Amino acid sequence: MSEEIAVVAGDGIGREVVPPAVDVLDALDRGFEFVEADAGDAVLEATGDPLPEETYDLVASADATLFGSVGESAADVILPLREAVDSFVNVRPAKAYPGVDALRPETDLVFLRENSEGVYKGIESKLTADVSTLTRVVTTSASERLAEYACDYAPEGFTVAHKANVMRETDGRFLDAVEGVADERGVETERALMDALAMHLCLRPEEYDVVVCPNLAGDVLSDLAAGLVGGLGLLPSANVGPERGVFEPVHGTAPDIAGEGVANPCAAILSAAMLLDFLGYGADADRVRDAVEAVLEDGPRTPDLGGDAGTDDVAAAVLDEL
Amino acid sequence: MSEEIAVVAGDGIGREVVPPAVDVLDALDRGFEFVEADAGDAVLEATGDPLPEETYDLVASADATLFGSVGESAADVILPLREAVDSFVNVRPAKAYPGVDALRPETDLVFLRENSEGVYKGIESKLTADVSTLTRVVTTSASERLAEYACDYAPEGFTVAHKANVMRETDGRFLDAVEGVADERGVETERALMDALAMHLCLRPEEYDVVVCPNLAGDVLSDLAAGLVGGLGLLPSANVGPERGVFEPVHGTAPDIAGEGVANPCAAILSAAMLLDFLGYGADADRVRDAVEAVLEDGPRTPDLGGDAGTDDVAAAVLDEL
Ligand SMILES: CC(C)[C@H](C(=O)O)[C@@H](O)C(=O)O
Ligand SMILES: CC(C)[C@H](C(=O)O)[C@@H](O)C(=O)O
């Protein structure tokens, strides 16, 4: 049966790195059917809406979505799309790739970020002329769903980030739920206060492996880890739901180089590999990752990695390695 | 007029590093009157309360407080004490000191952290068996008070950390208030999303100087910066209120070395220097900082810095340099 893949390239270099990722998926001959749709600043300017209903509906019904990057309107696009696929976990690997100048080359982390609640619920009020509030929401059900995923992903154990010394009830609930599931499943966990963890990741990243986080903690700590491995340039991510997912490079639209054909397509291609994993094509996913690593090791390089190759050169080299 | 200094050593190495800091203050001959009080895990165990009323009252009425460190009950001690002095800003310098193995030796940052609200208000509810909430509070008044301080502290400009793309109303209010004050005062600011900032601080710390943050963002980003300069070991901090303040090393109780007489007293002594600044003895504060730096450069070293000196040796060397 042929799967339908929604393709939402977005703005800026999203438009340049997504086509090579589609080519890679296509080259695997799995009979994927690709359907393109628009989102982002350009559509916002043209139509007044950064996320057309057709795009939302497509992502909500496709088997998986390959997403590029969106500019100013990013939050108005990616947050609804996470919801469209009922995404309960954002998977963010951060490892130092060969040939990249990393602050901590020994970093090899995966963040499993809660992707549906916390401070991201959009519940804010202007109470008085002086006071605004935001309601942070933590549920046992969402925390347990995340924990089940984490136990499957990391049966050898994981770290749980939190700030339960201050957010006692909400992060307390998060800890109880995650640890409860892990206990039942016989998976070991250790707690880490998110502030102390930010320091320890800088000092000793090799002591951590899989880190399960509340939503905002995951947002910040995964970006920190990107800093340890040399930047967002090569990092993929997966917004995973029970039946669908949205797969996106962690980098943004890179307005400074957009349109020049020199954007590095590796993060988008690695995101396509996460999509393959999600659809059950694990062997294909590994082939894609191996091809990207081989090219990073001694293939053509885009300027972000000190080379002078273009997006197409790198894309062609990856296809070649496949 | 002689100022009253409350001395709350707390638990663990707090009890070892605070006395040398008091000795340094005493050596300056400003006629300070020191009054000791208890707080922390030991008092909690003995009395059921980690923060005796006498301690709270003393801190609330003393001209300034020198604080050590507290163990498990830290949040129950330091958060009320911040409130006792109406502290609206937590000043956290993070710079690499000579002789310390730093991941990013070029780091020289000061975080000005909002110290009274955000997620720290303690407003949490268990709504149902599944759902808990926390109310994050942002006020224009607290944000403006922080901004006024920031403009005095950094007239050459500062960075404002936020997550207003998600927390639109609350961090939107924070940004408006801080930028409003800065505009009026003719001080330049630039915005930085807290997640992106976590990455950029790792990649290019030298591009930042003073960073104004909401409460939790400041908690996490300042610990991250501690990671860049080699750890919490040497970092002082100041909880500043309109008339009083609480000054504390950023490090914890270090249970692994507590009681052995080898704790590094420099962070506590540097916190005493911030206390001197606060009381208007800026020249004395500079003398103390110079003395500490001289000792760090080629005086005796405690084991955390690779030496085998004791707390007393380092303390004596600093007094000597004064
Ligand atoms: C664009 C923004 C809403 C988003 C987030 O905060 O989740 C981004 O930072 C990310 O990490 O994907
Ligand atoms: C102990 C804890 C409540 C405190 C905080 O979160 O402010 C600590 O992490 C700090 O940074 O001083």
The ranges assigned to domains in chain A are 1-93+232-321, 103-228
From B78, B81, B89, B111, mutation site for ligand 2 pocket: most ligand atoms within 8 A of C-beta: B78
The predicted model gives A257-265 an average pLDDT of: 95
Decide: residue B289, CB within 10 A, 0-12 exposed, 13-18 middle, 19+ buried.
Answer: middle
Distance CA B242, CA B145 (A): 10
DSSP assignment letter at A142: H
In tens digits, chain B (322 residues) has pLDDT values of 689 999 999 999 999 999 999 999 999 999 999 999 999 999 999 999 999 999 999 999 999 999 999 999 999 999 999 999 999 999 999 999 877 889 999 999 999 999 999 999 999 999 999 999 999 999 999 999 999 999 999 999 999 999 999 999 999 999 999 999 999 999 999 999 999 999 999 999 999 999 999 999 999 999 999 999 988 889 999 999 999 999 999 999 999 999 999 999 999 999 999 999 999 999 999 999 999 999 999 999 999 888 999 999 999 999 999 9
Q: Does A191 touch chain B (CB under 8 A)?
A: no
Chain A nearest C-alpha distance from B79 (Å):
9
Strand positions, DSSP E, A106-240: 108-114, 124-126, 131-139, 158-162, 189-193, 210-213, 236-240
pLDDT given for residue B125 in this prediction: 98
CB contact under 8 A, B119 and A136: yes
Q: Which of residues 238-297 of A touch B (CB under 8 A)?
A: none
How many angstroms separate the CA of residue B81 from the nearest CA in chain A? 15
pLDDT at B97: 87
pLDDT at residue A218 is higher than 90: yes
The answer to whether B118 and B316 are in contact (CB under 8 A) is no
B76 belongs to the catalytic site: no
Average confidence (pLDDT) over A125-151 = 98
Count Cβ–Cβ pairs < 8 Å, chain A vs chain B: 155
- Measured from the Cα of A250, ligand 1's closest atom is 12
Which chain A residues contact residue B165 at CB under 8 A? 74-75
Residues whose CB falls within 8 Å of the CB of residue B133, separated by 6 or more in sequence, listed in order = A135, A136, A137, A138, A170, B124, B125, B127
- The reply to whether ligand 1 has any atom less than 6 angstroms from the CB of A72 is no
pLDDT above 90 (res A118): yes
Nearest to B314 by CA among B66, B27, B259, B296: B296
Asked if the C-beta of B208 comes within 8 angstroms of chain A's C-beta atoms, the answer is no
Task: Say how many Å lie between the CA of residue B215 and the centre of ligand 1.
Answer: 20
B322 touches chain A (CB under 8 A): no
Contacting A residues, span 35-94, partner chain B, CB-CB under 8 Å: 74-75, 79
Lowest mean pLDDT among A65-69, A134-138, B239-243, B294-298: B294-298
Q: CA B257 to CA A162: how far, in whole Å?
A: 26
Q: What is the pLDDT of residues A230-247, one digit of tens each?
A: 888 899 999 999 999 999
- Are the beta carbons of B246 and B39 closer than 8 angstroms? no
Best probe of the B interface among A220, A229, A235, by most B CBs < 10 A, is A220
Cα–ligand 2 centroid distance for B248 (angstroms): 11
Compute the distance from residue B297 Cα to the ligand 1 centre, in Å: 43
pLDDT of res. A1:
63
Who lines ligand 2 at CB under 6 A? A 165-166, 195; B 74-75, 78-79, 219
Contacts of A126 in chain B (CB under 8 A): 169, 173
Relative to the CA of B219, which ligand 2 atom is closest?
Answer: 11
Give the residue from A304, A92, A289 showing the smallest Cα distance to B198: A92
- In chain A, residues with a C-beta closer than 8 Å to the C-beta of B191 are none
* Smallest CA–CA distance from A135 into chain B, residue: B135
State the pTM of this model: 0.97
Contact A256, A12 (CB under 8 A): no
Distance between CA atoms of B284 and B145, rounded to whole angstroms? 27
SS3 letters across A71-82 = CCCHHHHHHHHH
Q: Which fold has domain B1-93+232-321?
A: Isopropylmalate Dehydrogenase (3.40.718)
Cα separation, B269 vs B293, whole angstroms: 11
> Which strand ranges, in their side-by-side order, compose the sheet holding B236-240?
B33-36, B4-10, B64-69, B245-249, B236-240, B89-95, B108-114, B210-213, B158-162, B189-193
B195 is catalytic: yes
CA of A207 to the centre of ligand 1 (A): 26
Q: Is B167 in Cβ contact with A134 (below 8 Å)?
A: yes
Q: Which residues of A are catalytic?
A: 120, 163, 195, 219, 223
**Could you say which ligand is closest to the alpha carbon of residue A236?**
1
- Residue A250's contacts (CB-CB under 8 Å, 6 or more residues apart) are A92, A222, A223, A226, A232, A235, A236, A237, A267
Residue B1 is predicted with a pLDDT of 63
Among A276, A265, A248, CA closest to A59:
A248
Q: Which whole number is the average pLDDT over A140-162?
A: 98
CA distance A316 to chain B (A): 30
Task: Give the CATH superfamily of A103-228.
Answer: Isopropylmalate Dehydrogenase (3.40.718.10)
pLDDT of residue B163: 98
Structure tokens at B174: 């924070």
Mean pLDDT of A64-68: 98
pLDDT beyond 80 at A99 = no
> Do B1-93+232-321 and B103-228 come out as alike in CATH topology?
yes
| Largest pairwise CA distance in chain A | 61
